[in-house]
Chains A and B, each alone.
Chain A
Amino acid sequence: LSHGSGGRAMAQLINDIFHAAFDNDWLRSNNDQASLDALPGRLVMTTDGYVVSPLFFPGGDIGSLSVHGTINDIAMGGATPKYLSASFIIEEGFPFADLERIAQSMGEASRAAGVPIVTGDTKVVERGKADGVFISTAGVGVLPEEISLSSDKARPGDAVLVSGSMGDHGVAIMSRRENLQFDVEILSDSAPLHGLVADMIAAAGGSLRVMRDPTRGGLAAALNEIALQSDVGFAIEEALIPVKPQVAAACEFLGLDPLYVANEGKLVAICEAQAAETLLAAMRAHPLGKNASMIGHVVEDENNFVEMKTGFGGGRIVDWLSGEQLPRIC
């Protein structure tokens, strides 16, 4: 890939790659905007930037991730994702083959999810001004009238559920980045959650209060954010939090806590306590929620602590970390 010279031909080449991969009527019409039929109900909109190293990792790549991530951000509001847009910042010298692979993966992810990428843009920047490729996606979705999810709605007594095992994505990324090989390969959990969310809403829509995808900072960051925004605390139990044995082992080995490790295909749901069992059953009936678990409940706490009961009986604070997991034992 080169930058500047041969601009027009190059832009065409790149466009072709994406059009072929995403292929739909909106893109084929080749306008600077996509015209969409007005949707009934309330609209939700979100946008997110994706920078990940490495670009390709076990279980996914930056392309599929940029589709799933934005779909999930819409789904966490309880909405149905309808359309996506995508914008690319590509570093000069980036291999065409890799770009093609990313585009293919994005196209597949969008088709599998049933959410088309209807408009996009590409820019090539000088070498060193970007790390391979950066992707920005935006999405629009529709929100049913009766649904109103928000991070400030958790109330003492509510149940806390997670849709599956924690930490898979972060460990998959890390193992590729640090060139770590474990006995069992750990795959990213990158997946679109709107199907699971639709089933959850059908089963217990009105009782749902908060949904969150625990991405960067993992479950710990997600719960701490909700605790602060809802001005509550959490009482969770370590033994109830699903973590795959190989992820637990890898984390232990590297000195990480899986609760702080990112996920890309999991959600945390908070619902009224009496709906918890119904919701859990609905989640477990969906392939992306088959390992769902109720991990604790919301409590009153002026300190907004996420307190975890561990095997030793003590209540450990799962606090909000400023960044990476630093040693504290002196």
Chain B
Amino acid sequence: MGRVVAVPSQASQRLRVRVRGAVQGVGFRPFVYGLATRMDLSGFVRNDASGVLLEAQGGDVQRFLERLSRDAPPLARIDAIEVEELPLGEDFGFLILESVAGKSQTRITPDAAVCRSCLDELFDPASRFYLYPFVTCTHCGPRYALSRRLPYDRAQTSMAPFAMCPECARDYRDPRNRRFHAEPIACPTCGPRLSHAPKEIAAALISGLIVAVKGVGGFHLMCDARNAGAVEELRRRKQRDAKPFAVMVANPASVGKAARAAPQELDLLQSVTRPIVLMESAGALPRAVAPGLGRIGVMLPYTPLHHLIFHEAAGAPKDQAWRDSPQELILVATSANLGGDPLVKDNDEAQAQLASIADLIVTHDREIVTRVDDSVLSLVGGAPAFLRRARGFAPEPIELASDGPCVIAAGAHLKATLTVTRGREAFVSQHIGDLSGAATTRFYRETAAKLLDLLDVAPEYVACDLHPDYYSTRWAEGQGAPLIRVQHHCAHLAGVLAEHRIEGPALGLALDGHGFGDAGQSWGGELMRFEGATWRRLGGLSPLPAPGGDHAAREPWRMGVGALAKLGRLDAAERLFAGEPRAIEMKGLIEKGYAPPVTSSMGRLFDAAAALLGFSSGQRYEAQAAMEMEALAAVPCAMEGGFEMTEVELDFGPLLAALADRKFTPQEGSELFHGTIVEGCAAFILRAAEAQRLDIVALGGGCLMNRILAEGLTRRLQAAGLRVLLARRLPPNDGGISFGQAVVARSFVQSRTAEELALCV
């Protein structure tokens, strides 16, 4: 919500009102016009470089002001309303004036789901938009994905090739019309066309075929989620043998067929951003949809085409009742990409790359300019938390506590994002992905250029990770601006603190996979103290041997052997890893004196526990074993004496030793592990909180995507009187790293002298 600044105490005669935020290209001027004319006010409204400026007089201007922020159009984001009193003036009614400096200079709003009014027209046989898959208005539709540059204007979007027909042009110019200045306005006469009829698409899906469907920010691969054969075939063709698929259901009334949604989860599903929401699976779909997991990602249709497919599947009824009643069809809807490559977005890319996966490739002739994946959220501690932030959220800024220089931050390596700061705002890019692949690095460079272009800034500083071999670090080194290298976990935690606009002093605990420590160590379970621009590591998890570096993250048996080595119980390796000859071989090497590298990572501690408990010996996707353990742990319970700690080290050795005895079922073991981890981390934090006299703690890092950990730790620490901060506007994993880097770089710059800064290279 915006902040109202300096509202005059008594009803004035004429007000000048400046509205800041995302208020252009979202129907704000017609909204003001409508409001003013209904309330018999005179004056004017117009866009300018800083947002919307209006003057109004003649009626109850105070009520007008209240409604201005309360009833603003759905896509508007008001940051501030500033009001000034003026002497009465002469008006000719209430006017919408031409923009002072062209059109929207300020922001492009994120992509929004098709709105209810447009859907009413989509399924109204009397509407000129009846069954038209590109129906949109100022309150809905793709924006970021279509825009080439600012200002946000049809000519600068991929709608440019489509000349408006007279009817669309009329709507576009009419301030009373919902499509007044709706840049992507289109109709069957003048707009984009689909390659296949929705009827044909629905029929293909229902008959068990795999269909690639062009959406807002890229293609989906879809199939009938109820059809185990189709889902397994999709896995086979996509060479994705275990990673969970998300599903799309027709409407909120149909969610129950896939998941047991809490009311808050249903609200989140229906928000204008239409994210994928992870929720408890109803267990009704074939196992192949999300093997081994108790939770399933669900989303609602967000393009007119999605709705048209469900409409056809419902038998193409003429009336609208089907829209609110439960529908049978459930679709798998997964990002169309190959291996680690980015989401496919162009028609020719789709033909080249998806022909071997999809039986039918549905395209249209409106170009997707910017690739944007679906966003993924889940409720953590009763509030939404990101697993992936993209469509619907990027490029919406995060407000910072203070102004500062323009920084571009390069992010991490595997879940890369970029962040650009401008004034008090930090613009975090959409999820980009794994920078090991050449295609993803191209997407990464394009995104950097696009962000800078949209924001019209030149970075004064560049920030990156300490890791010398992240692609993002290499990229940052080549930017030619002073470079500030930020420790990985410092970035994780500083980002969480900055989201909550806390400058410290505060504690932070990073529970993470791997990050390059301040002297090259492998870190991932670090307790830190933050104060302004400085941080200090107070302690961390007791390091475990991690034989095989990155391989240890893929093959939990490695961490299992590492844990046994640490416990001095290598003799148990034969018993515990009978099916894994390499584990026995590794045991032999360590006995002969081989000393593997060590890591203080919480992620690897999870892997060690999973291995000792007998979970799968190879992970087919990141953190699979940890996710399966979480899925099994119903009632976490702490083990008496399961951890030992000193000021500087937290050691779960006793817990690992107990798991190595294998006296527990996997479920009991998972519950004991989760419970003890929560108890140990809480005790470690509380001890430091007392010693440091601090009562705020930020929790960050990829392991916080584990809800038992995030919620358990929060509850435990809150009960002890601490204020606990979790990542809310960004994912706790490496998707949030660029934001943290930007924040740390800015406070570093602001705390140094010019001479000190000259040393940054």
Residues of A bordering B, CB below 8 Å:
178-181, 252-255, 303, 305, 307, 310, 312-317, 319, 321-323, 325-330
- Whether A327 contacts B338 in the complex (CB less than 8 A), given A254-B548, A305-B438, A321-B469, comes out as no
Name the contact of B514 in the complex, choosing from A180, A303, A310, A330 (C-beta under 8 A): A330
CA distance A254 to B595 in the complex (A): 11
Docked-complex contact A313 and B551, CB < 8 angstroms: no
CA distance A316 to B437 in the complex (A): 4
Name the contact of A313 in the complex, choosing from B338, B412, B513, B553 (C-beta under 8 A): B338
**CB proximity of B628 to chain A, nearest CB, Å:** 18
- Judge if B319 is at the interface, Cβ distance under 8 Å: no
Q: Considering the complex of A and B, which 3 residue pairs feature the smallest CB-CB distances, nearest first?
A: A255-B548, A314-B339, A255-B549
B47-55, B160-168, B584-592, B742-750: which lies at the interface: B584-592
Excluding A330-B512, A330-B513, 8 further A-B contacts by CB distance (< 8 Å) are A303-B441, A313-B339, A314-B437, A321-B468, A326-B467, A328-B436, A329-B414, A329-B553
Docked-complex contact B341 and A314, CB < 8 angstroms: yes
Name the contact of A327 in the complex, choosing from B412, B550, B592, B734 (C-beta under 8 A): B550
Q: How does the 8 Å CB contact mask read for B600-625 relative to A, with 1 for contact and 0 for none? A: 00010000000000000000001000
Residues from chain A with a CB closer than 8 A to the CB of B413 are 328, 330
Name the contact of A314 in the complex, choosing from B338, B513, B586 (C-beta under 8 A): B338
Residues from chain B with a CB closer than 8 A to the CB of A317 are 435-438, 441, 471
Docked-complex contact A316 and B551, CB < 8 angstroms: no
CA distance A317 to B603 in the complex (A): 25
- Whether A181 contacts B548 in the complex (CB less than 8 A), given A319-B474, A322-B468, A329-B414, comes out as no
Name the contact of B436 in the complex, choosing from A178, A316, A323 (C-beta under 8 A): A316
**CB proximity of A22 to chain B, nearest CB, Å:** 37
Residues from chain B with a CB closer than 8 A to the CB of A329 are 414, 513-514, 550, 553-554, 622
- The 14 sampled A-B contact pairs (Cβ below 8 Å) are A178-B589, A179-B593, A255-B548, A303-B438, A312-B239, A313-B339, A314-B439, A317-B436, A317-B471, A319-B469, A322-B468, A326-B549, A329-B622, A330-B733
Residues from chain A with a CB closer than 8 A to the CB of B593 are 178-179
Docked-complex contact A319 and B471, CB < 8 angstroms: yes
Q: How does the 8 Å CB contact mask read for B103-115 relative to A, with 1 for contact and 0 for none? A: 0000000000000
- Judge if B552 is at the interface, Cβ distance under 8 Å: yes
Name the contact of B549 in the complex, choosing from A321, A322, A325 (C-beta under 8 A): A325
| Majority secondary structure of chain A interface residues (helix, strand, loop or mixed) | loop
Residues from chain B with a CB closer than 8 A to the CB of A328 are 413-414, 436, 467, 469-470, 514, 550
CA distance A254 to B589 in the complex (A): 11
Name the contact of B547 in the complex, choosing from A181, A255, A326 (C-beta under 8 A): A255
- Whether A312 contacts B733 in the complex (CB less than 8 A), given A307-B438, A317-B438, comes out as no
**CB proximity of A327 to chain B, nearest CB, Å:** 4
- Judge if B488 is at the interface, Cβ distance under 8 Å: yes
Name the residue of chain B whose CB is nearest to the CB of A256: B549
Docked-complex contact A330 and B414, CB < 8 angstroms: yes
- Whether A330 contacts B412 in the complex (CB less than 8 A), given A178-B594, A180-B594, A322-B469, comes out as yes
Q: How does the 8 Å CB contact mask read for B459-491 relative to A, with 1 for contact and 0 for none? A: 000000001111100100000000000001000
Residues from chain B with a CB closer than 8 A to the CB of A178 are 589, 593-594
Docked-complex contact A315 and B437, CB < 8 angstroms: yes
CA distance A179 to B599 in the complex (A): 22
CA distance A253 to B439 in the complex (A): 29
**CB proximity of B517 to chain A, nearest CB, Å:** 11
Residues from chain B with a CB closer than 8 A to the CB of A319 are 469, 471, 474
Docked-complex contact B594 and A330, CB < 8 angstroms: no
